[in-house]
Chains A and B, each alone.
Chain A
Amino acid sequence: MTKLLEWLLGISVVMSTWGLLTFDLLDLKLPPVYKEVAWPMPVYLLVVFGCYSLATVGYRVATFNDCNEASQELQAQIKEAKKDLQKKGLKF
């Protein structure tokens, strides 16, 4: 199963549960509180997911390591390498 199908399957499960509760499709005579909770649920979920995404990406951008030492180490090694290679007869 492709990821696309997995997603479609997941979304249809959620949406049919939602329809079932909101419109009482099976005529289960559910108490009205079910409907009240279920009705705005898709929008809530979207908002929560949106916030989660923004927070996660924001946090990860802020904590993305800046590898200054790695760059300095590399610069020093480049110098050393050039000297050594020249000694070994390399013509740049």
Chain B
Amino acid sequence: MQYNMANRKTSKSRVSSDKYSVLLPTYNERENLPLIVWLLVKYFGESGYDYEIIVIDDRSPDGTLEVAEQLQNIYGADKIILRPREKKLGLGTAYIHGIKHATGNFVIIMDADLSHHPKFIPEFIQKQREGGFDLVSGTRYSGDGGVYGWDLRRKLISRGANFLTQVLLRPGASDLTGSFRLYKKEVLGQLVKKCVSKGYVFQMEMIVRARQLGYSIGEVPITFVDRVYGESKLGGNEIVSFLKGLLTLFATT
């Protein structure tokens, strides 16, 4: 509460021309999309920053796009922008596709499955402004950050993988596989062009390359709540592909 008050003050006293484009890639998120959009509207409304929400749906069979159209009618075509694609083409290209249509000077990427809570966005923005960072990354691994709905096994794998990555790559960021981040638009454009990995490793590569290119990174602790609705799209060979990706980055960056 206190936080919002402080925020409102700064946004009033400093007339800012910053605009934040939120990229929401969706695949079968019919149940989650209205909720995440509602939360985004709520927190952007309260903090007063200029924003737009770009939904990139890959022709989800569950009819996510139809719900997105309804949301556009409710909240307006200037706030909810639909940039669907013909078929499922993966997350990496969804971001490239989204950036092309983003009109903000900052881009926020997050999952549409409610794992990432929009309440942290004003904190991301403040952090970015404080330090002039090129990118601000949410982190589950430091400060008040954390997770909900993870058993011991998953925590162990997550912490172990993170430790291994820290030792091998020394990336200068505590959460490499998270995908809740704020970028300066041109920085994201540069990075996406350079990154070739898929899945988890894509997020990791983004931050490793960011460091390599000399971009500054800020961090904000976030809570990660496992998806409530819908199915997880990542299969059982997660760990194998993670290790492969890690070794690739180890040898090439």
Contacts and interface: CB of A to CB of B under 8 A. Distances in A.
Specify the main secondary structure of chain B where it touches its partner.
Answer: helix
A90 to B, nearest CB: 5
Given A2-B252, A71-B148, A64 B155 contact: yes
Specify the main secondary structure of chain A where it touches its partner.
Answer: helix
B38 A84 contact: yes
B74 interface: yes
B146 A81 contact: no
Interface in A71-92: 71, 74-75, 77-78, 81-82, 84-85, 88-92
Contacts of A66: 146-148
A65 B251 contact: no
Interface of B: 31, 34-35, 38-39, 67, 70-71, 73-74, 114, 117, 141, 144-150, 152, 155-156, 158-160, 162-163, 167-170, 223-225, 228, 249-253
Contacts of A25: none
Which residue, of B34, B70, B152, B251, has the highest number of chain A Cβ atoms within 10 A? B34
A81 B35 contact: yes
Nearest to B153: A61
Contact of A70 (B67, B117, B159, B170): B117
12 contacts: A2-B253, A53-B163, A61-B155, A61-B156, A61-B159, A64-B146, A64-B147, A64-B158, A65-B145, A67-B148, A90-B67, A92-B67
A16 interface: no
B251 A4 contact: yes
A62 B147 CA distance: 13
Contact of B168 (A3, A53, A81, A90): A3
Contacts of B250: 2-4
A67 to B, nearest CB: 4
A60 interface: yes
A17 interface: no
Given A2-B252, A2-B253, A78-B35, A60 B70 contact: no
A3 B146 contact: no
Contact of B148 (A56, A70, A81, A92): A70
A57 interface: yes
A74 B117 contact: yes
A62 to B, nearest CB: 9
A78 B253 CA distance: 42
B160 A57 contact: yes
B148 A2 contact: no
B152 to A, nearest CB: 7
B223 A3 contact: no
A78 B228 contact: yes
B117 A60 contact: no
Contacts of B141: 60
Contacts of A4: 250-251
A90 B252 contact: no
